[in-house]
Amino acid sequence: MAESQSGIKGDINFYVVAALFVMGLAFLVGNAFEPDISDELDFFEAILTLVYAVAAAFAFNVARRYRGSQIFGRAYFALGIAFTSYFVGWVLWFVFQVWLNISNPYPSYADVAYFLFYPFSIYHLRTNIHYFKRKLDRRQLFTVFSIPSAVFLIFLVLGLFPVDASGGVFHLKINPHPGFEPDFIPQFIGGLVYVFMTTLVFSYALIGVQTFRGTVLGTAWGLLMVAFALNAAADLPYYFAELVGSYERPSMITGLWFSSMLVACYALYKHRDL
């Protein structure tokens, strides 16, 4: 297939958007009321895992349609691997949690799969962007690196100097302190890497929207940026929560992960006429 921009239907179907919103809201509410039993795989955990597999299938389908293009075929195949990696990460997470009775398997071998989501997503974004724009301008380069760097520094400071507000009194702590949990250091280092990578993916998606704005690719890329933004909006509070051991599956974070993949599926569906 020729490497061109032609053929994409750019209009957003607002009935589909409304349906995605209702599905995301239903998941969010239902997940909040479903009891969190760590040694059981419940309905919402299974649905969350499967939605990544569905997103991967959409991405591989686009890659198949682009099989005549070395550039875009590889780019969307990489995105399929990214979503597949996250799916494998969730499967491993629940293997540790449900079958091996590890209440919070972080960090674990599942993180190897989770982490692969980021480099493959970045490869997808960079490949598409640089095909149409060989070199980013200074403002775009600043955007790409300033957002992840700022979030990295915030996580670094809040991780090393947390504020304890228990009892209504604010106390500044310094980590690692004498009574810190043994898992703090690997969780802290892992969190630093993850928050940088998830915001780097979002930054590249933002550049993609700027690059394709006003073109036939604009709608699909705008939706894809929303998907990555929702994923980052879930990742960031999750890794902050893991530092203090406060993440629970019924939280809104899980709903954001689910919603991000719903939007990603629709974004990839918009490529059906490529």
pLDDT at position 136 is: 87
More confident residue, 62 or 218: 62
Three-state DSSP class for 257? helix
**Confidence category of residue 273, pLDDT binned at 50, 70, 90:** low
Domain segments of the chain: what residues?
Answer: 14-269
In the predicted model, what is the mean pLDDT of residues 107-111?
A: 89
Instruction: Determine the average pLDDT of the residues in 202-206.
Output: 92
DSSP H or E stretch at residue 90: helix 70-94
Q: How confident is the model at residue 186 (pLDDT cuts 50, 70, 90)?
A: confident
Kindly give, in sequence order, each residue whose CB lies less than 8 Å from that of residue 215, ignoring residues fewer than 6 positions away.
5
Distance CA 227, CA 237 (A): 16
Q: Indicate the SS3 state at residue 248.
A: coil
79, 121 in Cβ contact below 8 A? Answer: yes
- Band (166; pLDDT cuts 50, 70, 90): low
Confidence bin at 187 (pLDDT 50/70/90): confident
Banded model confidence at residue 175, pLDDT cuts 50, 70, 90: low
Q: Taking a C-beta distance cutoff of 8 angstroms, is the pair 43, 34 a contact?
A: yes
Q: What is the pLDDT of residue 180?
A: 59
Looking at residues 208-234, what average pLDDT do you find? 86
Say how far apart CA 222 and CA 36 lie, in whole Å: 34
In this structure, what are the phi and psi dihedrals at residue 163, rounded to the nearest 5 degrees? -105, 125
Average pLDDT over residues 208-226: 82
pTM of structure: 0.87
Contact indicator for 265, 55 with CB cutoff of 8 Å: yes
* pLDDT, greater one: 134 or 237: 237
pLDDT at 48: 95
pLDDT value of position 181 = 65
Mean pLDDT for 222-232 is: 92
pLDDT tens for each residue of 46-95: 999 999 999 999 999 999 988 878 788 999 999 999 999 999 999 999 99
More confident residue, 164 or 155: 155
Confidence of residue 21 (pLDDT cuts 50, 70, 90): very high
Q: For the chain, give the mean pLDDT.
A: 85
SS3 letters across 149-190: HHHHHHHHHHHHCCEECHHHCCEECCCCCCCCCCCHHHHHHH
pLDDT at 171: 52
Q: Is the dihedral of CA 162, 145, 118, 43 positive or negative?
A: positive
